[in-house]
Structure 1
Amino acid sequence: MYAIALYDSAKNELLLSRDPFGIKPLYLTEFSGGIAFASEPEVLLAAGLSPRTLNTQARTELLQIQFTTGRNTIFEGIDRVLPGETIRIVHGSIVERQTRPALPAVTRPLPMLSEEQALKQLDHAIMDSVQAHERADVPFGLFLSGGIDSATLLTAMQRLPRTAPLKTWTAVFDAPNAANEAQTAATLAHAAQAEHETLTLTAPMVWAHLPAIAACMDDPAADYAIIPTWFLARKAAQDVRVILSGEGGDELFCGYGRYRTAARPWWRGGRRMWRHGMFDGLDVLRTSPKNWREGLNAAEHTAHAGPTKLSALQALDIAEWLPNDLLLKLDRCLMAHGLEGRTPLLDPALAACAWHLPDTLRVQGNKGKWLLRRWLEQHNPAAHPFAPKQGFTVPIGTWIAQKGHLLGALVAQQECIQAIAKPEQVKMLFKTADQRKQGPAAWTLLFYALWHRAHIRALAPDADVFDTLSQNP
């Protein structure tokens, strides 16, 4: 992982470069004095090098799919250096762009591996990657959800020699019927003789810190998984400086349900990614531009170069969802607490190993991550990799509904919300946020209202969510 700036003063030449998966962020803006770059848009804004002006197309994307795509950020005039891109700048002007792809090109059918052969290759790749990612002269630990990806990392770490116990952390929510795998995580950690902590998150804790959580996402991703990630980072920062995390496992090894559809024969159909936006059918937004999918359409066009329908869908996730939501969330939440994040499943050799698997070793029947599950079954059967997934759900919709009358009124009175949504419909949305479709939409508006205060209006997040939204709406 890297985000690099190299300056040759003799030639007045600057190189900006970012790792192929986009693990580390990098941004630039062009202005009258040349080009400025930073690892966060807020640095460019605070320095007065770019105005705090919204890119309305990106805002619509954020509302509809909870993140933004492509080169343009939500700030007019600030661009991303794309994953794998190297930009050459001479005398303040961009003269060349080159891209190093995250995934190896596959233009022909791959030789069929037996499952046994594939497992051996996968084992070498996993162990080499985890061993390399453990190298540190400071304490490190692992975010352990109890799912396949983090259990894979724990299993590999357990097999490596060490001089001190592993440190692991899991989040659980204090809410009725909140799905979690905390007990599974604790059992696995105990078996690995890890020093394990389970962090229980309550609604009052979230309301107290949500303005700060939203503020740390200057390049916004309204993924409510930022909540447990931020709290886990705050807790882990008391003991370690480096965190290993399982991002990339779903995208490379086919963990999402939509991949199971894509793996079917063509005549059984499939799903288009993000066919519908978050607010479609809710009658909440004042206008609903039909072009909000333009960024995704462009990414899909490129991704369709994959050799199979399944790999094309994976390639789209890897190009957009992974860097602009999942990795962004991890980087911002960890850096907010002075932690470095490492993602062993995105090691180039391990990613290439996964990418060269035939579809039959990625998905079988109703099980994605087939080969990764088989590897885990071999090396840590106590992880029960083929057991039904309990899931990990943030009960944000339930919590919003419990405070729906108050929160709905506060969000509806924000100028930034009134500009895009109907106030009375917003209030109703928050009161019904415990419903499946209404919950994510209400959360997205709440996040956007808090984010807008921090990064468009430049107001410090110095109070809880209720007091923050009550001040200068």
Structure 2
Amino acid sequence: TIIGNGEIYNYLELTEEFQLKSKLSTGSDFEPLLHIYAQEGEAAFDRLRGMYAFCLIGADGRTWLVRDPFGIKPLYIHARNGAVAFSSEPRSFGQAKVVSAISNQVAALHYTLENETAWPGVIRLEPGEVIEIVDGVPKRHRVRTAIPSPLRGGAGVGVRAAASDDDALRELDRVLEDSIKVHQRSDVPYGLFLSGGIDSATVATMMARLNTRPVVAYTCGFDAEGARDERAQAERIAKQLNLDWNNVSFGEEDFWAIVPQVAWATDDPVADYACLPTYKLAQQAKSRLTVVLTGEGGDELFGGYSRYRRAQRPKWLGGRVAEPQTDAVLGTSAIEAWRKHATQPNGLTTLQQAQYADIATWLPNDLLLKLDRMLMAHGLEGRTPFLDPEVAAFAFHLPDTLKTRGKFGKYILRAWLEKNCPAAEPWAKKKGFTVPVANWIAPRAADLAKTLPNVEAVRAAASADTIRAIFTDEAHAALRYPMLFLGLWGRIHTEGMSPKAARTSLFR
């Protein structure tokens, strides 16, 4: 028996390799795994290419709980009285409790790091974790890393450290085509979210190559002073690629209507304001699509963040460790926890250290959790073709100079887009993506300064005086959205309020 959430993308290849066609009866992409497990045992899990969280009960009587190596799909367990329950959402286990460390991490980092959750006794499996249930007790066997080894000095998917740019570009084209081909395997309508940036433009370009009909794409932009988005760039890309492009607007009214729904959907808390446009995109796309491809993982695999380039500089040129910047008013416990979880193995370059840290912390606990919760709230399935074993093996064996070069990150993706989608303008300065939450919160800041100190989950992150200071002192304005989110999250998940009641309790 297997109970699974997600997709096994290489089920057709596995069916052929193990000659299973005559043995399969359901058409499920998880079914081949049962037969392969019967032959190979636990080693069968290493053959999977996909996003998944599953419980497998083998004919040998052994019971396993497994999460994919990137952590694209979540899995939570609760062991008690000789039994183990599991779910894709912690709220399945009842009502959450206030935990100071969780509140502080949400406020400071916008996500949580620990395996322990706000639900007593409920544990979040790590990405790649393999657990066996023995006599009603979960026992960890191993954690399968998403990052290939060795990271330095070896050849990866045909690209040597000394490979020319042209060789690397040809191999990038091959692995991208292969990954996107399997990620768009579906018997339901699929499309993509197109931000206008490098990552989603890369996915869109390859999807346009692989599909004969125009690919359906959705882009979100913001109607507010001071907002930044890449809508104009996305439209140019859509025209060149002949996409079926849909422009979605997000304004102040959307913000106040959606933020309580986001707090409800992210029971495992994520105070990332990028959840807001993702929720709106999913809300709009659900009428036409069931599966959505996105660009998550491109920055982490190909060195896109500016902090990666800063980390590579000598200290005398302003180089610094690529770690999150937190506000001193929240103390140091969150950043200390981050440093513990971001510990890297020996032998990595400075860039690889920064990539490793993000893949261990920010990627699964913020970006992928955001994607899963915002899309699943509308019955959509998000797929991430960059976060694929073949793509990761290629990316991590590239020399650093093909990831960052001069002032550019994601150098090789930009070079590929220059050839395949010039409309993406990959060498142009990007506007970036900024949700104007500060502008929208400002008129209600005085009210929130009064109501948020009454929420236990918020007080667990900071004192009442600090909370009031955050909403009255512009020096701490960046903390206002995380605190607002935490207030709504606490009302909903620890106090049992509905999203509407939670909103009314804090602001009208």
- The TM-score with structure 2 as length reference comes to 0.84
Aligned pairs for 1:398-417 within 5 A: 398-417=439-458
CA-to-partner distance for each residue in 1:72-114, whole Å, 9 max, x for gaps?
Answer: 2343422111111110112211234212110111264243111
Q: How many residues align?
A: 452
Cα distance in 2 for partners of 1:270, 1:75 equals 40
| Deviation, structure 1 residue 266 | 6.8
Task: Select which of 320, 327, 332 maps to 2:373.
Answer: 332
Contact 1:54–1:76, Cα closer than 8 Å, also in 2 = no
Equivalent in the alignment of 1:296: 338
| Deviation, structure 1 residue 269 | 5.9
Q: Return the letter of the residue paired with 1:358.
A: P
Cα distance in 2 for partners of 1:73, 1:273 equals 26
Aligned pairs for 1:9-408 within 5 A: 11=61, 13-45=62-94, 52-106=96-150, 108-110=152-154, 111-162=161-212, 164-265=213-314, 268=317, 270-274=319-323, 276-278=325-327, 280=328, 282=329, 288=331, 290-301=332-343, 303-408=344-449
> Partner of 2:168: helix, strand, or coil?
helix
CA-to-partner distance for each residue in 1:255-310, whole Å, 9 max, x for gaps?
Answer: 111111223357656323436423x1x4xx6xx3x433343222232x24352111
Cα distance in 2 for partners of 1:134, 1:417 equals 41
Contact 1:211–1:468, Cα closer than 8 Å, also in 2 = no
| Deviation, structure 1 residue 412 | 3.2
CA-to-partner distance for each residue in 1:347-379, whole Å, 9 max, x for gaps?
Answer: 110111111100111101111000110001111
Contact 1:55–1:75, Cα closer than 8 Å, also in 2 = no
| Deviation, structure 1 residue 71 | 2.2
Cα distance in 1 for partners of 2:507, 2:256 equals 13
Cα distance in 1 for partners of 2:494, 2:274 equals 23
Runs in 1 of length 4+ with deviation above 6 angstroms?
Answer: none
1:452 equivalenced with 2:494 (yes/no): no
Cα distance in 2 for partners of 1:96, 1:447 equals 33
CA-to-partner distance for each residue in 1:422-441, whole Å, 9 max, x for gaps?
Answer: 44553443245xx4x52321
Higher mean C-alpha deviation, range 203-212 or range 102-111:
102-111
Cα distance in 2 for partners of 1:104, 1:66 equals 28
Give identity over the alignment, percent.
Answer: 42
Cα distance in 1 for partners of 2:461, 2:184 equals 46
Distance 1:128 1:107, change over 3 A: closer
> Partner of 2:232: helix, strand, or coil?
helix
Cα distance in 2 for partners of 1:420, 1:70 equals 16
Higher mean C-alpha deviation, range 262-271 or range 221-230:
262-271
> Any stretches of 5+ residues in structure 2 without a counterpart?
1-50, 155-160
Cα distance in 2 for partners of 1:67, 1:133 equals 27
| Deviation, structure 1 residue 207 | 0.6
Contact 2:82–2:135, Cα closer than 8 Å, also in 1 = no
> Partner of 1:330: helix, strand, or coil?
helix
Q: Return the letter of the residue paired with 2:220.
A: A
Cα distance in 2 for partners of 1:264, 1:97 equals 39
Cα distance in 1 for partners of 2:102, 2:347 equals 27
Equivalent in the alignment of 2:23: none
Higher mean C-alpha deviation, range 316-325 or range 258-267:
258-267
Distance 1:356 1:26, change over 3 A: same
CA-to-partner distance for each residue in 1:140-188, whole Å, 9 max, x for gaps?
Answer: 11111000000001111111132x3211111111111211110110121
Contact 2:455–2:491, Cα closer than 8 Å, also in 1 = no
Q: Return the letter of the residue paired with 2:188.
A: V
Contact 2:261–2:499, Cα closer than 8 Å, also in 1 = yes
Distance 1:272 1:264, change over 3 A: closer
| Deviation, structure 1 residue 343 | 0.3
Equivalent in the alignment of 2:506: 469
Task: Select which of 477, 480, 484 maps to 1:439.
Answer: 477
Contact 2:109–2:334, Cα closer than 8 Å, also in 1 = no
Cα distance in 2 for partners of 1:310, 1:239 equals 40
| Deviation, structure 1 residue 131 | 1.2
> Partner of 2:386: helix, strand, or coil?
helix
Contact 2:103–2:457, Cα closer than 8 Å, also in 1 = no
> Any stretches of 5+ residues in structure 1 without a counterpart?
47-51
| Deviation, structure 1 residue 319 | 1.0
CA RMSD of aligned residues (A): 2.1
| Deviation, structure 1 residue 128 | 1.0
Cα distance in 1 for partners of 2:458, 2:134 equals 42
CA-to-partner distance for each residue in 1:293-347, whole Å, 9 max, x for gaps?
Answer: 343222232x243521110110110111100000000000000000000001111
| Deviation, structure 1 residue 468 | 4.1
> Partner of 2:55: helix, strand, or coil?
strand
Distance 1:356 1:338, change over 3 A: same
Q: Return the letter of the residue paired with 1:150.
A: S
CA-to-partner distance for each residue in 1:207-242, whole Å, 9 max, x for gaps?
Answer: 122111111001111111000001111110111101
Equivalent in the alignment of 1:49: none
> Partner of 2:78: helix, strand, or coil?
strand
Cα distance in 2 for partners of 1:380, 1:292 equals 41
| Deviation, structure 1 residue 33 | 4.1
